[in-house]
Amino acid sequence: MEVIDAIILGVIQGLTEFLPVSSSGHLELGKAILGDNSLPKESLLFTVVLHFATALSTIVVFRKDILEIIKGILKFEWNEDMNFISKIVISMIPATITGVFFEEELELLFGGQIALVGFMLIITALLLYLADRAKNTNKSVSFSNAFIIGISQAIAILPGISRSGATISTSVLLGNDKTKAARFSFLMVVPLIFGKIAKDILNGELTYESSNFLPLSIGFVAAFIAGLFACTWMIALVKKSKLTYFSIYCAIVGLIAIIWAVSQ
């Protein structure tokens, strides 16, 4: 993989992990456009590195929240922080079950299925359009909400369904505060990303060659910096109900992807 390709894909991952336009879908489109001919395991390593970078950017943006949660847990008593962590754990259940039992089936969807990406982006556009019209409240995510949002996160494993778009939209449509919905959405994915990375390492599924060090490093830095910007920006956009613009964008890109796939 060329350095310039690593930068482009890193920026795509960093921006689209938080902006509601589907990082996995855009990575598939990016690889198709750039003609990524890397071996599947090498491509997997690069994808994992980019996801690790965006997970770290989430931790940096929400460092104060995370420190408060850790302090609350260390008090060894049931409090609001333990309450929040419990909801995060509940939200992880659907995606964990899906990843464990349907991993092989899901991997087949990431082999340049551009038409699928296009259709899923249109579904994302619809979700964002509906969420942007929901009334804002002061309601926090409940335990039952956490599980339903977790189901949205599991469905968002499909390339083209935006994880942040699906989880934030679901949370808002359930009547939750938009800012709290965004915070919960971004924090709930961090344990899953680190869990997936640990699983791939322990299973020996990741291969590394010294020649890949430079593009991997540059891709990591690009994704991390773009992630910092996108995460902060997205929180402000959700609060101001500006998701319609992303809805239009997803619909346009989705249609282009479908037309491009059919014409091949």
pLDDT on residue 148? 95
Dihedral sign from CA coordinates of 70, 198, 194, 148: negative
pLDDT on residue 136? 79
Quote the tokens at residue 56: 């770290």
Rounded Cα distance, 245 and 125, in Å = 9
Q: What does pTM read for this prediction?
A: 0.80
CA atoms within 13 A on the CB side of 64: 2
pLDDT on residue 146? 94
Residue ranges of the alpha helices (H) in 156-243?
163-173, 178-202, 213-239
pLDDT on residue 34? 64
Residue 86's CB is within 10 A of a number of other CB atoms, namely 13
Quote the tokens at residue 82: 């333990």
Rounded Cα distance, 63 and 131, in Å = 27
In order along its 264 residues, the chain shows pLDDT tens digits of 677 878 887 888 788 778 888 877 776 777 677 665 543 444 667 777 888 898 899 899 989 888 888 887 787 777 788 888 999 999 999 988 887 787 777 766 666 678 888 899 999 999 999 988 888 788 889 999 999 999 999 998 888 888 888 999 999 999 998 888 888 988 888 888 888 777 777 776 655 555 567 888 898 999 999 999 988 888 888 878 788 888 999 999 999 989 988 887
Q: For residues 114 and 260, is the Cβ–Cβ distance under 8 A?
A: yes
Rounded Cα distance, 240 and 137, in Å = 13
pLDDT on residue 112? 64
